[in-house]
Amino acid sequence: TATLAYASAGQGRYALLLTGYLSGLHQTSSRSAEVKVSTDVQARRKPGASARVIALATGSHIKNIVQANADKGGVDVFAHTWNPEAGPYIDSAFGASMVLSAHEPLEYQLSGRSYSLSIGRGAALVRAHERARGFPYVSVVALRADFVVMAPSDLSGMGPGHIYFQFTCCVRERDNRPGDAKHLETQ
């Protein structure tokens, strides 16, 4: 079951939704999850998120999204991760900006299915809070919890009624094949 944590009243104009599974600094999320379910005791000693990944990612979210939009109506933070052991660290890093979070044990092997489920559960947290406060957010930005934002992001330029996708993350030109999102975007 999920452990839900409320940290503030959540009066921001924008919402930041962090989702997914955080891994170690030198390991992909899927490889980290494989190690977590491994029967090899040595391999299971350090599964999941590392303190360095949490510090790097949350630091970038705080500086380049939360603080960068403080004078534009503010940002409330929500999180759904598959890292129950890291939940308290993630939540405390955001302090009063963290409105609601759930950090659950991994239900499915990491894949599109598990990530989609994390996004759905996170979105349900945001919607529940919108109903409780009586009005919707102008925009909700959903990011992988381990995504590092390298520069300030002005959310006021992202109007309601639009969906923005980042197509260039982790895409190499040699992987730009027919049927890929990057390929379709360039057509």
Q: What is the pLDDT of residues 1-30, one digit of tens each?
A: 344 444 445 567 899 999 999 887 555 444
Residue 129's pLDDT is 95
Total-model pTM: 0.74
* H-only helix segments in 62-155: 87-94, 112-133
Instruction: Please classify residue 137 by burial: count the beta carbons closer than 10 Å to its beta carbon, then call 0-12 exposed, 13-18 middle and 19+ buried.
Output: buried
Residue 110: CA atoms inside 13 Å, Cβ hemisphere, count? 19
Instruction: Kindly report the number of other CB atoms within 10 A of residue 160's CB atom.
Output: 9
Give the span between the Cα atoms of 34 and 49, in whole angstroms.
Answer: 13
Whether the pLDDT of residue 163 is over 50: the answer is yes
At 111 the pLDDT is 76
pLDDT band at 67 (very low <50, low <70, confident <90, very high): very high
Q: Which of 166, 158, 155 is nearest to 65 (CA)?
A: 155
pLDDT at residue 174 above 80? no
Instruction: Look at the alpha carbons of 95, 100, 106, 109 in this order and tell me if their dihedral is positive or negative.
Output: negative
Whether pLDDT at 132 is above 60 = yes
